[in-house]
Structure 1
Amino acid sequence: MLDGAVRRRLEPILDRIGMALANHGVGADMVTISGLLLGFVAAILIAFESYLSGAAFILFSRLCDGLDGAVARASRKTDFGGFLDIVLDFAFYGAIPLAFVIADPSANGLAGGFLLFAFYVNGSTFLAFAVMAEKRAMTTEVRGAKSLYFTTGIAEATETIVFLLACCLFPSWFPALAALFAAVCLYTALARIVLARLAFQGKQ
């Protein structure tokens, strides 16, 4: 929901940094992989209850997630790069809730499992919609130029990052925050199913 406004403010800055990185020979895939590795560091720190350090590495990781597209625009976009970006994003968004479960299984296990279920369902609707949109040659740049059709929703990257940072700042609130955000993700998935019915019900 907030990604559009955030993107308009950050994209010019990210594009300048991306251009500088590309000029120094840094590839977009390298930035994408670095983002995942930083995300795994965040997950390890959270699992050991170093929540504030984990929050810092979440920010570093998501900075890389914004920069890889800027580097690609400044150098060369590839289908593999777009594929890698999506896959590693999903790995990151699975690792952080799992880390909270590991940190305190008795308190966070049920809410963390519910959240991962919601992420799974929401992600499947996002990817399935993109496949069907590609089949019908649909295009959109509502969230900028993407490697696949990008449907919007309440639970987008900005909201998810804010949620994860809130969990790091208030770790004892994780069960309540996770349950609430899981509900938001499931609502987003349901809205996307309704959108798919409207978009795909007719003939090609």
Structure 2
Amino acid sequence: MLDAGMRKLIDPPLNALGRGIAQSGVTANQVTLAGLVLGLISAGMIAWGHFAWALIPLLASRLLDGLDGAVARATQKTDFGGFLDIVCDFIFYGAVPMAFVWADPGANGAAGAFLLASFYANGASFLGFAILAEKRQMDTRARGVKSLYFTGGILEGTETIAFFVALCLWPGWFAAMAWVFGALCFVTAVSRMVLAAKLFTGHSD
């Protein structure tokens, strides 16, 4: 819900920084993989109970997630780069809830499983919509220049990052926050399905 507005604020400085990184010879894919490594380090720290310290690699990971696209725009965008970016994003988004479950399986297990299931449903609706949008040559740049068609929703990347930060700051509230956030993820998935039904029913090539 907030991504479109955030892109207007963060894209100019990210693009400037991305051009500088590109001039150093670092590739967009290297930035993507570095972001994933930092995200997994953050998840490992969470699993070991170092919640506050985990914020440092977590936020650095998300910075690199924004920078990889800026580097690609400054050099050359590739389909594989877009593929790698979304795969690494999904790995990161799954690793953080899993880490909280590992940190306290008894308290966080059920809520963590519900949250991961909601991410799975939301991801499936997102990717399914993107496939059909590509098939019909739909295009949007509301959330920046992307390799995939990004549909909006109640919960997007900005809200998810804020949620992860809140979990690290108040880990004792993981279960309560996970139930609420997971429910909203399911609502987002259903709303995307409703939109797909309106746009794609009766049109097949």
Task: State TM-score, norm by structure 1.
Answer: 0.99
Alignment of 1:125-140 (within 5 A): 125-140=125-140
Residue 202 of structure 1: how far off its partner (Å) = 2.5
- SS in structure 1 at match of 2:121: helix
* CA distance in 2 between partners of 1:99 and 1:35 (Å): 17
Aligned to 1:114: 114
Aligned to 1:66: 66
- SS in structure 2 at match of 1:146: coil
* CA distance in 1 between partners of 2:168 and 2:162 (Å): 10
* CA distance in 1 between partners of 2:95 and 2:26 (Å): 26
- SS in structure 1 at match of 2:52: helix
Residue 136 of structure 1: how far off its partner (Å) = 1.2
* CA distance in 2 between partners of 1:196 and 1:5 (Å): 23
Which residue identity lines up with residue 174 of structure 1 in the other structure? F
Aligned to 2:178: 178
- SS in structure 1 at match of 2:190: helix
Alignment of 1:11-160 (within 5 A): 11-160=11-160
Q: How many residues align?
A: 204
* CA distance in 2 between partners of 1:138 and 1:18 (Å): 27
Q: Structure 1 unaligned runs (5+)?
A: none
* CA distance in 1 between partners of 2:152 and 2:28 (Å): 24
- SS in structure 1 at match of 2:183: helix
> Residues 90-146 of structure 1: CA distance to partner in whole angstroms, max 9, x if unpaired?
000000000000000000000000000000000000000011111111111121211
Q: Structure 2 unaligned runs (5+)?
A: none
* CA distance in 2 between partners of 1:98 and 1:144 (Å): 29
Which residue identity lines up with residue 68 of structure 1 in the other structure? D
* CA distance in 2 between partners of 1:144 and 1:62 (Å): 15
Which residue identity lines up with residue 10 of structure 1 in the other structure? I
- SS in structure 2 at match of 1:53: coil
* CA distance in 1 between partners of 2:103 and 2:148 (Å): 35
Aligned to 1:165: 165
Residue 60 of structure 1: how far off its partner (Å) = 0.4
Aligned to 1:9: 9
Residue 203 of structure 1: how far off its partner (Å) = 2.5
Which residue identity lines up with residue 165 of structure 1 in the other structure? V
* CA distance in 1 between partners of 2:144 and 2:10 (Å): 12
4+ runs of 1 displaced by more than 6 Å? none
> Residues 57-115 of structure 1: CA distance to partner in whole angstroms, max 9, x if unpaired?
11000000000000000011000000000000000000000000000000000000000
* CA distance in 2 between partners of 1:25 and 1:203 (Å): 44
Task: State TM-score, norm by structure 2.
Answer: 0.98
* CA distance in 1 between partners of 2:131 and 2:91 (Å): 20
* CA distance in 2 between partners of 1:158 and 1:150 (Å): 13
* CA distance in 1 between partners of 2:34 and 2:128 (Å): 27
